[in-house]
Amino acid sequence: MESSILSPKSIAIVGVSQDSEKISSVILKNLINGGYNGKIYPVNPKYEELQGRKVYPNVLSIPEDVDMVCIAIPHQFVEDVVDQCVEKKVKSVVIISAGFGEVGPEGAELEERISTKLKRESIRLIGPNCLGFINNKAKINLTFARENPGDGKIAFISQSGAFCTAILDMACEKGLGFSHVVSIGNKADIHENELMEQFVADNNIKAIALYLEGFSDGKEFVTLSQKAKKPILLIAPGSSKKAQEAISSHTGSLASSFDTTIAAIKKGNMIYTENSDELFKLMRLIDSDIIPTGKGIGIVSNAGGPGVIAVDMIEKKDMEVPEIGEKTRQKLLKILPPEANIKNPVDILGDAKSDRYQGTITELLNEISVDSILVILTPQLITEIEATANVITELMKKTSKPIFSCFLGGKDIRAGIRILEEANAPWFKDIQEAIRLISKLVEFEENKELTKIVNSDDYFKKTKYKEEINKEIIPDKSNVIPDELGIKILEEFGIDIPRQQVVSSLEQGRDFASTIFPVAIKATSEDLAHKTDFKALYLDIRNIGEFEEKYQELKETVIKTTGNVAPKILIQEMIPGKLEFFIGANREGGVDIYEKDGRGFGHLLAVGQGGIYTEVYKDIRHILVPENREKIDVILSKTKISEIIDGYRGKPALPREKIIELIMSIQKLLVSYPEIVSMDINPVMITEDRAVVVDAKFYVAK
């Protein structure tokens, strides 16, 4: 997107009125009062003059060239104005009006017709159904918001105009400025990725905040976030549509569309925010350059209980309460009463005045293991609330380490908070909230080095069975790949599997089983995807007699359950594993997802505890394909099963590298066969030196 689209030299506003409460009138007033120095052309055939300016009957009657036309009239009249814009050869259009794709099929058809006309003439469109945009660098406020908080170093993109106005109102109260605020509405043309690309490249923009209800192209969005190296704050309510609702796969419940959104956020090293208040508070922290460089938090409190609460929350958020060094402890002994606790958290006691806070904070700031300070204050009778707030603001000027304040209480702490606020010092009224937001900033900072752009082309391999899948297997709806072909695909990518064979008769099965006893016999995936549910699986068969008996039982079960009178049976060597692992995947996007013009996020892997209780334990973490090996290792470490893999309570460690190699191979398989819309590999049997896929189901769709 050309940066000039948000910096037009001339703007026509269609629909202006003498009614000062009309949206178009508010837009005109905001544009004038904001100090815009370009040409402004009010348009409405009912008037000749408004707000001291000549009014034109239509766009075509404007004698000069027009860069941008802002349309704020009922939707049924918008297309006529768009036709005028095409004839006038304007550069861009902003459609404020609602009544398009968001209201139903007729509105969607109108939106498509209008956007097609504009695209055909290379006229860019913001909206429809939007608030407009603010570019404080160019003094443009082309919105109907009540107030503009002014210039700043954060750019805000929102799909919701109402959410924009809420954030703007909060910003005006607290004095937070924005470089740009862009309401993209229905995203009929200009979308978040175009704006992101522009804002990521702008060195004057410190951070980008977004409210999105859907993603124009997930994988591009992630790549832009990875390139940014600046904070990207995202609030994404609900989630994108489920990748495949019709798939008969365990993975559906373990890798949902919301999981895809969260995995994308982690892959792009974005900061996920859960509500508008959290988004705004994080924007303020970032705007103040308050991002800790590490996990270690030094706690100073005049009450023991709040300090304990802080420690609990810090551990829950994978942060650290570092031990204080002996040198610092000796200094604390000199400035604190004997009853004080000089371990972290440092309890300076309820009678602490501002000097005690000052001395303790100063010593903790000098501690190498402390990356930030959390100052907790409760209002005791002799607590010097205002003086302590002044101490904090003065110490902030002398250190690069963030000092976060948590003043607990109500009316008594107001004056102290006012001092912190005026000094732009970060403060909270809730300990858990403080640590939750600090941890999000720390996670962003720590993951910078792990966040690397991984090109899916590097994972692509020319495949042997794509034609067979596309011509013979993919029908109009999702379908399962037969086990014989699934085995070949696993072999194609060098994936460790048991010796196995799909057979059509007892005789054929007996001949094969006799060479590899003990064996497992199973229904094939195309007959019964979830074998355990139907007792279509027999394990550890050790002789011919037992094999013949179980083979017949299994065959009868399949016939009875499916109606298939000639079922095939899968014979497999038994793999005596130490642990069962799970790998699943769902695809978000079409079969062209890894091509240049393919849109979506791609495959979401779910990895973790395997076996029949996978869905019960839900010890699962998610990986957005493709991801680098180092990041996969970190994600795997977040599972509980990782502790067992690494040797829990003196048990021998299992082959972690084999598991990571398997995940890497699965990524290549999915990128090379994007037709796979869903996948269950459960279990992977982990032995002393192998990670063996003993059951795999692949579902395919266009």
Instruction: List the domain boundaries for the chain.
Output: 3-243, 291-446, 499-573, 579-700
* pLDDT the model gives residue 253: 44
* pLDDT the model gives residue 238: 59
Predicted confidence (pLDDT) at residue 607 exceeds the cutoff of 50: yes
| Residue 194: strand, helix, or coil | helix
Token pair 């030299």 is found at: 9
Mean pLDDT of 578-587: 95
Tokens of 243: 């990748």
Claim: this prediction has a pTM higher than 0.75: yes
| Residue 189: strand, helix, or coil | coil
Predicted confidence (pLDDT) at residue 244 exceeds the cutoff of 70: no
Classify the C-alpha dihedral 654-660-665-671 as positive or negative.
Answer: positive
* pLDDT the model gives residue 241: 47
Q: For the segment 292-328, what is each residue's pLDDT rounded down to a tens digit?
A: 999 999 999 999 999 999 999 999 999 999 999 999 9
CA separation for the pair 332, 171 (Å, rounded):
40
CA separation for the pair 335, 327 (Å, rounded):
13
Mean pLDDT of 81-102: 96
For the chain, what is the mean pLDDT?
93
- Look at the domain 579-700 and name its fold: D-amino Acid Aminotransferase; Chain A, domain 1 (3.30.470)
Q: For the segment 255-290, what is each residue's pLDDT rounded down to a tens digit?
A: 558 889 999 999 999 999 989 999 999 999 999 999
Residue 300 has phi, psi (to 5 degrees) of -120, 120
Mean pLDDT of 160-186: 95
**3-243 with 291-446: one CATH topology?**
yes
Q: What element of type H or E holds 362?
A: helix 354-365
DSSP conformation letters of 472-489 = II--SS-EEPPHHHHHHH
Distances (CA, A) of 555 to 27, 521, 523, 564: 73, 10, 8, 10
Q: In whole angstroms, what separates CA 259 from the centre of its chain?
A: 8
* pLDDT the model gives residue 252: 44
Predicted confidence (pLDDT) at residue 170 exceeds the cutoff of 50: yes
Sorting pLDDT into bands at 50, 70 and 90, what band is 678?
very high
Predicted confidence (pLDDT) at residue 251 exceeds the cutoff of 50: no
Tokens of 351: 């009678």
CA separation for the pair 69, 84 (Å, rounded):
10
Q: For the segment 536-549, what is each residue's pLDDT rounded down to a tens digit?
A: 899 999 999 999 99
Classify the C-alpha dihedral 657-699-238-113 as positive or negative.
Answer: positive
Q: Which DSSP category does 296 fall into?
A: B
| Residue 207: strand, helix, or coil | strand
Task: Please indicate whether residue 241 or residue 101 has the higher confidence score (pLDDT).
Answer: 101
Residue 612: other Cβ atoms inside 10 A: 13
The percentage of residues in the chain with a pLDDT greater than 90, rounded to a whole number, is 86
* pLDDT the model gives residue 477: 63
Residue range 499-573 in CATH 3.30.1490.20: yes
Over the range 157-177, which residues count as b (16 or more CB within 10 Å of their CB) and which as e? bbbbbebbbbbbebbbeeebe
- Look at the domain 3-243 and name its fold: Rossmann fold (3.40.50)
- Look at the domain 291-446 and name its fold: Rossmann fold (3.40.50)
Mean pLDDT of 399-424: 96
The percentage of residues in the chain with a pLDDT greater than 70, rounded to a whole number, is 96
* pLDDT the model gives residue 256: 56
Tokens of 634: 């970190």
Predicted confidence (pLDDT) at residue 493 exceeds the cutoff of 70: yes
Predicted confidence (pLDDT) at residue 530 exceeds the cutoff of 60: yes
CA separation for the pair 225, 551 (Å, rounded):
54
Predicted confidence (pLDDT) at residue 250 exceeds the cutoff of 60: no
Predicted confidence (pLDDT) at residue 362 exceeds the cutoff of 90: yes
Burial category of 437 from C-beta neighbours within 10 Å (exposed 0-12, middle 13-18, buried 19 and up): buried
Predicted confidence (pLDDT) at residue 456 exceeds the cutoff of 90: yes
Distances (CA, A) of 479 to 526, 564, 567, 634: 8, 17, 17, 34
Mean pLDDT of 467-484: 84
Q: For the segment 608-652, what is each residue's pLDDT rounded down to a tens digit?
A: 999 877 888 889 999 999 999 999 999 999 999 999 999 988 889
Task: Please indicate whether residue 562 or residue 507 has the higher confidence score (pLDDT).
Answer: 507
Residue 487: other Cβ atoms inside 10 A: 21
* pLDDT the model gives residue 407: 97
Yes or no: say if 167 and 174 are a contact pair by the CB < 8 Å rule: no
